[in-house]
Amino acid sequence: MNTKSDTESAMKAGKKAQARTRTAGGEDGHEKDGAATSKAPAEVEVELPAPRGTGLSRRFWVEEPAIRRRMPDPVRTAAVRAVIIASVTLMQAMVAFFCTLAGSWLAFPMVLSSVGSTVVATWGVLDVWVTRQVWNQRNGVVSVPSSTARQLRRERRRARRTARTAERDGARIRRRGAGRLSEA
């Protein structure tokens, strides 16, 4: 049975944990000098009092870092679209099944629309796969010699190098030209 003092001690423990995370990583989860931390946020633990007489405390919440990185936006959009289409297809199939059992006139049109939706759902899943492959090919680091991402990076490097050399040559010409004007 929790009393008022038990809940107060739990609240104090939570405030202490928040204070510890603020002093360790700044107010907004960053270091005090303003640089972003590369590590995951520290675990936040709130210890709740255990039943009386045991002398033990329980953990209320432990925040764990994400295991996977976030999907790219186009891939996530395609995945959400595919899930919505698949769920509508399953609902149509269920309605078609129940209409068939009930002997309703709606059974035949629902079966036809379920077949069409199955084709669209298959397209949706393939769309996720193709979008993911295209995104990896354009933006990802793919360790294949024919990677488009690697080729684009090479072209960007080449363009920057030529811009730097042109800038250097222009500065060199200006320096030489300034001295010769007085000699004329």
pLDDT at 28: 46
Count of helices and strands (H, E) across the chain: 4, 2
* Cα–Cα distance measured from residue 9 to residue 72, given in angstroms and rounded to the nearest whole number: 43
* Cα–Cα distance measured from residue 63 to residue 44, given in angstroms and rounded to the nearest whole number: 6
Per-residue pLDDT tens listing for the chain (184 residues): 555 555 566 566 656 655 555 555 444 444 444 444 445 555 555 566 666 666 666 667 777 777 888 888 999 999 999 999 999 999 999 999 999 999 999 999 999 999 999 999 999 999 999 999 999 888 876 566 666 677 778 888 999 999 999 988 888 776 665 555 555 5
pLDDT at 68: 81
Long-range contacts, stretch 90-94, CB < 8 angstroms, 24+ apart? 92/117, 93/117
- Per residue in 127-145, is it b (16+ CB within 10 Å) or e — as a string? bbeebbeebbeeeeeeeee
Please answer whether residues 67 and 74 qualify as being in contact, where contact means their C-beta atoms are separated by less than 8 angstroms. no
pLDDT at 69: 81
Residue 145 token pair:
């010699």
- Per residue in 77-93, is it b (16+ CB within 10 Å) or e — as a string? ebbeebeebbeebeebb
SS3 47: strand
pLDDT at 175: 66
* Cα–Cα distance measured from residue 125 to residue 89, given in angstroms and rounded to the nearest whole number: 13
* Cα–Cα distance measured from residue 81 to residue 127, given in angstroms and rounded to the nearest whole number: 9
Q: What is the pLDDT of residues 119-155, one digit of tens each?
A: 999 999 999 999 999 998 888 765 666 666 777 788 8
Per the DSSP assignment, residues forming a β-bridge with 47 are 59
